[in-house]
A = this chain, B = another copy of it.
Amino acid sequence: MNTFYWPDLLYSNVGFISGVGLLVSEAGEVLALSRRDDAADARIVELPGKALLPGFVNAHSHSFQRLIRGKAEGGGDFWSWRQTMYHAANRLEPEDVYDAARMAFLEMALAGTTTVGEFHYLHNAADGRPYDDPNLLAKQVIEAARSVGLRIVLLRTAYLRSGFELAPDAGQKRFFETGSAFLENTTALLRAYPETSGVSIGVAPHSVRAVPLRELKAIAEWNQSAGLPLHMHVSEQVAENEACLREHGHTPVELLKRERILSPKFTAVHAIHLSQEEIAALAEAGASICACPTTERNLGDGIFPADRAMTAGVRVALGSDSQAQIDPLEDARELEYHLRLAQQNRGVLDQIGGEPLAARLFGCATINGARLLSIASGELKPGNPADFFTVDLNDVAIAGHSAEDLLSMLVFSLPRSAVRDVAVSGRMIVRDGEHELTAEIVAQYTDIHRKVWGDSSHGKEAR
């Protein structure tokens, strides 16, 4: 039986419309945006006082990094933060990886996210040896997403060395594979999740630092037939660019261009410290960028030049990355806000023309993410899965909206508490702000968190 979701307002690619609901097949596919009269045979799900929008696509996540939230906010820099992150990474049993991922994915679901792109580089056991199934941890993360109900694209990450002329870092021993093992294990993972499984796989050479050029080329070549999304950290920190210059005589994007690794399947994650020529190279190749502003401000990476990237025609999507905050609209607004701060101006990304600003930013959080993960989502149109969330139109943050300014209010002012229902392929995973597994996930996560950090005390004195 079909289902007809019947909100006050529905966001389609022409803006918010009323008098129209979402007709969804039993398999969870959008059949039509239709009037109620045209959905007479369907089960009606009334969503009064709510607007319905395509679900967010979180295109860059390291779920286990939820464990370091609040842990490294004092002194130190990016590189000392990374040591804290390794501390967490090295204390997780396979079931802990599952529980930590469920915690991050639950928070994403409650924020309106329906798809996560997990950039996954935890492969080995704590002693650095592969598990009997070298994809054991990847599968834990995939099962965590399934448990919460999120669509997942597992971006299996090649992390082959510590860096140019660097001895292997013991903190990274769970990440390392050989180049050939990487391709073998990725192939095995692809076989384990055929198209019908609803799970997608991508490849992610971690960075020019962590993947030598020879292996990087082999992965890119392998992917020419596989045709998977290929994601890579690029120019997050200036030091990375400098190391690449030392090793190759080129910046990372120059190198990627020269070696013909850029393509429409390529996504540069972060891409902060880029020259105009490098942005042009990405644009020319049809490559995309995934920015992660809430993480980038937390890590002190610098301001992503969204204006230059978008003006050049590069597609920009968003990721929660280190999970410092999980709030897709906060990420979206920061694309614009960080430029306002730097340029002391307003409407910076509005000057690019084309879409209105709010629609542009909302697109970064939805359809653009879907495109660079090669999935059909981020847009409510016939044939796509019914991945959506609803918002309470009477929420104190947006009360008084009209159809004309609602998207602008959402993008610039909505706290995630206004998200009420979330559905993935038509399956409601959040209803009226609640996910049914919350208590269980929080309880299990709390145990792991304490195990990792060894602080079981809840306060300075026992109660």
Give the Cβ gap from A95 to chain B, nearest Cβ, in Å.
16
CB distance from A454 to the nearest CB of B (A): 9
User: B107 contacts A442, CB within 8 Å?
Assistant: no
Q: Does chain B have a CB within 8 A of A26?
A: no
Q: State whether the Cβ of A338 lies closer than 8 Å to any Cβ in chain B.
A: yes
The answer, among B346, B403, B406, for a CB contact under 8 Å with A300, is B346
Q: Which of B70, B303, B413 contacts A341 (CB 8 A)?
A: B303
User: Which residues of chain B are within 8 angstroms of A307 by Cβ–Cβ distance?
Assistant: none
**Nearest CB of chain B from residue A144's CB, rounded to whole Å:** 14
Q: Please tell me if the beta carbons of B457 and A402 are within 8 angstroms of each other in the complex.
A: yes
Copies of this protein in the complex: 2
Q: Which residues of chain A from 6 to 37 have a CB within 8 Å of any chain B CB?
A: 8-9, 14-20
Which chain B residue has the least Cβ–Cβ distance from A75? B347
| Contact in complex: A300, B344 (CB < 8 Å) | yes
Q: Are A341 and B400 in contact (CB-based, < 8 A)?
A: no
Task: Render A390-409 as a binary contact track against B, CB cut-off 8 A, 1 for contact.
Answer: 00001011111111111011
Which residues of the partner chain B approach A394 to less than 8 Å between Cβ atoms? 439, 442
Is A463 an interface position by the 8 A CB rule? yes
A74–B347 contact, CB under 8 A? yes
Pairwise interchain contact B400-A18, C-beta atoms closer than 8 A: no
Return the contact of A396 from the options B72, B103, B301, B458 (Cβ within 8 A).
Answer: B103
A341 and B297 CA atoms in complex are apart in Å by 5
Contact of A462 (CB < 8 Å), options: B18, B106, B345, B408: B18
Inter-chain contacts of A397 with B (CB < 8 A)? 107, 326
Which of B70, B296, B413, B463 is close to A19, meaning CB atoms less than 8 Å apart? B463
Interface residues of A in 277-304 (CB under 8 A from B): 296-303
Q: Are the CB atoms of B417 and A416 closer together than 8 Å?
A: yes
Give complex CA distance A446, B396 in Å: 10
Is A461 in the interface zone, CB < 8 Å from B?
Answer: yes
**Residue A76 at the chain B interface, CB threshold 8 Å:** yes
Name the contact of A70 in the complex, choosing from B110, B338, B405, B450 (C-beta under 8 A).
B405
> Does B399 contact A298, Cβ atoms closer than 8 Å?
no
Tell whether A83 is near chain B: CB-to-CB under 8 Å.
no
Residue A38 CB within 8 A of the other chain:
no
Chain B residues within an 8 Å CB radius of A455: 402-405
> C-beta contact mask, A31-73 vs B, less than 8 Å → 1, else 0?
0000000000000000000000000000000000001011111
Q: Is the C-beta of A180 less than 8 angstroms from some C-beta in chain B?
A: no
The residues in A between 429 and 463 inclusive whose CB is less than 8 angstroms from any CB of B are 438-439, 442, 445-446, 448-450, 453, 455-463
| Cβ B297 vs Cβ A340 within 8 A | yes
| Among listed A196-204, A263-271, A350-358, A368-376, interface-contacting one | A350-358
**How far is the CB of A140 from the nearest CB of chain B, in Å?**
18
Query: Does the CB pair B300–A356 fall under 8 Å?
Result: no
- Residues in B whose Cβ lies below 8 Å from that of A226: none
* A-B residue pairs in contact (CB < 8 Å), sample of 16: A8-B458, A17-B459, A17-B460, A18-B460, A69-B400, A73-B350, A73-B411, A106-B396, A107-B397, A300-B343, A300-B346, A302-B341, A394-B442, A400-B449, A403-B460, A417-B417
Given contacts A70-B401, A404-B457, 6 further A-B contacts (CB under 8 A): A237-B344, A298-B337, A298-B412, A402-B457, A403-B459, A416-B417
